[in-house]
Amino acid sequence: MSTSLFDLTGKRALITGSSQGIGFALAKGLAAAGAAIVLNGRDVGKLEQAAVKLREAGGSVDGLPFDVTDHAAVKAAVDGFETTTGSIDILVNNAGMQHRTALEDFPADAFERLLQTNIASVFHVGQACAKHMIKRKAGKIVNIASVQTALARPGIAPYTATKGAVANLTKGMATDWAQYGLNCNALAPGYFDTPLNAALVADPEFSTWLAKRTPAGRWGNVEELVGACIFLSSAASTFVNGHCLYVDGGITASL
């Protein structure tokens, strides 16, 4: 099969929450596949540092700082970029957060922050970008779900709820927008060594449990998410819609 199906040359990708971790790895991978990159985050300094790294690797990079939980700010940023710079052809909704507390003691304000950051942001940025994609009759939206889209663990029930919602919102996006030429799918990472999981990576007991629980026997490396994201962002997936692709070392396949 021709590798041209996976070539992103001439496309521009906005990745939310992309100054570090999975978001930065996906930005770097999409850039290597030919895409121009739009980095997003709230910390302008961290965003510029990430942009410098990508440019040093040969990537075409813009920074677009905005708060993904602020509907008006999202719309203004996306509309402004589309008007002054160019089209956003690929959206990766990656911004997210975690809060670990037993459900009976889970703070209400932390629950609300999770809802806004992990699921409302997918609606805000997805809608803002889709309005432009619909006019062009083309676009790729990749929402970052999680192994917790399908499974639960103690202490993260609200996070699990948000990631389940991401998968169903993805199905809704596909149902509403596939008719306009958009492909809307979700990428669901398993356990990866990222800043969000730093406390778990540093816990020998958890890492031992994870190695036994995961058929692949280890943590994932963020680079191992890139191929799946390129697939969902490219011409290779033109008839894939509403799908949740797990990249998890087999953890959701095994008891």
pLDDT of 160 over the 90 cut: yes
Contact 21, 15 (CB under 8 A): no
pLDDT of 195 over the 90 cut: no
pLDDT of 175 over the 80 cut: yes
Domain spans of the chain?
Answer: 3-194+221-250
* Fold of domain 3-194+221-250: Rossmann fold (3.40.50)
Q: What value does the mean pLDDT take over residues 165-177?
A: 98
Give the span between the Cα atoms of 128 and 231, in whole angstroms.
23
Q: What is the pLDDT of residues 125-145, one digit of tens each?
A: 999 999 999 999 999 999 999
In this structure, how many other beta carbons lie within 10 angstroms of the beta carbon of residue 224? 15
246 is a catalytic site residue: no
CA 143 to chain centroid:
5
Of 223, 230, 225, 246, residue with least CA distance to 33 = 230
**Model's pTM, two decimal places?**
0.96
Provide the pLDDT for residue 2: 64
Contact 134, 178 (CB under 8 A): no
Beta carbons within 8 Å of 196's beta carbon, 6+ residues apart: 21, 22, 96, 97, 98
Q: What value does the mean pLDDT take over residues 73-87?
A: 98
The rounded percent of the chain whose pLDDT value lies above 90 is 96
